[in-house]
Amino acid sequence: MHGIIFAELKKYVVARMGTKAWNDLLAASGMQDKVFLPNQAYGDVDVITLVTTASRLTGKSASDILEDFGEFLAPDLLTMYRPQLDPAWRTLDIIENTEQLIHRQVRVQSPGALPPQLQVVREGPDKLRLTYTSRRQMCGVAKGIARGIAREQHEHIRVTEPECMLKGGQRCDIRVERVG
């Protein structure tokens, strides 16, 4: 997993709960001396351990933490790839184009980073269907990023997930609809 994600995870924990909480989380995860650099890649097991431990410490579900983290992360992701994004694009357009324009480029430029293959079907101007199948099973991040992009774009969206790998599904079937 890309070091950016770990750098952002630290930023997220510090923003929500302070620097001590991040140090406590590292210690409780058995990673007290670990430093995550944004230009390196780290094992998926590290992020899974950190999120599982955060879930144990806070009593929140891992899915809820990942979703909140995804929402927090979205503005920085948008800033990083702003030059690739058409300024006229709204939330659904950005999600629709992420696979072709962004995730594909991340896979080429950052060895060790494997962003998920996002399959998007634009079902209408105000709705799309996103199929997520990563073995990391982090659909919460996808839903959170969608919400975070909408917040940045001052739009309201409804996100539903009629099928989810975490509930025994073959895939995560995420529906995003612009409302209001």
Locus of tokens 């430093």: 35
Q: Which CB atom, from 24 or from 136, has the smaller least distance to ligand HEM?
A: 136
Our finding on whether 98 is near ligand HEM (CB under 6 A) is yes
Residue 170's identity, in one-letter code, is: Q
53-92 residues near ligand HEM, rule: CB under 6 A: 77-78, 80-81
Minimum CB distance to ligand HEM, residue 42 (Å): 8
Our finding on whether 146 is near ligand HEM (CB under 6 A) is yes
- What's the rounded Cα separation, in Å, for the pair 86 and 130? 20
Most distant pair of Cα atoms in the chain: their distance: 49
* Cβ atoms of residues 50 and 127 within 8 Å: no
- In sign, the C-alpha dihedral spanning 6, 62, 100, 96 is negative
Our finding on whether 165 is near ligand HEM (CB under 6 A) is no
* Cβ atoms of residues 70 and 141 within 8 Å: yes
How many C-beta atoms surround the C-beta of residue 111 within 10 A? 8
Our finding on whether 138 is near ligand HEM (CB under 6 A) is yes
Our finding on whether 51 is near ligand HEM (CB under 6 A) is no
Of 27-35, 57-65, 139-147, 161-169, which segment contacts ligand HEM by CB under 6 A?
139-147
Q: Which residues of this protein are in contact with ligand HEM, per CB under 6 A?
A: 1-2, 4-5, 77-78, 80-81, 95, 98, 102-103, 106, 113-116, 118, 134, 136, 138, 141-142, 145-146
